Amino acid sequence: MNYDLMIPVMRRLALQAGEEIMEIYGKDDFAVKLK
């Protein structure tokens, strides 16, 4: 495995996932069903 190629991709995906998660937590109608 070439970790030098994988690390930037994994980092980008983690940042995108974090943005989506924070968008859900920031909604006004945040409820358990959204989790």
Q: Which residue has 């920031």 as its token pair?
A: 26
The single-letter code of the amino acid at 35 is: K
What tokens does 21 get?
Answer: 């998660």
Q: How far apart are CA 33 and CA 21, in angstroms?
A: 14
Per-residue pLDDT of the chain (35 residues; tens, 9 = 90+): 899 999 999 999 999 999 999 988 887 776 666 55
Q: Please count the helices (runs of H) and the strands (runs of E) in the chain.
A: 1, 0
CA distance 11 to 17: 10
User: What are the residue boundaries of the structural domains of the chain, listed by start?
Assistant: 3-34
Inter-residue contact 10 to 3 (CB < 8 Å): no
Residue 35 pLDDT? 53
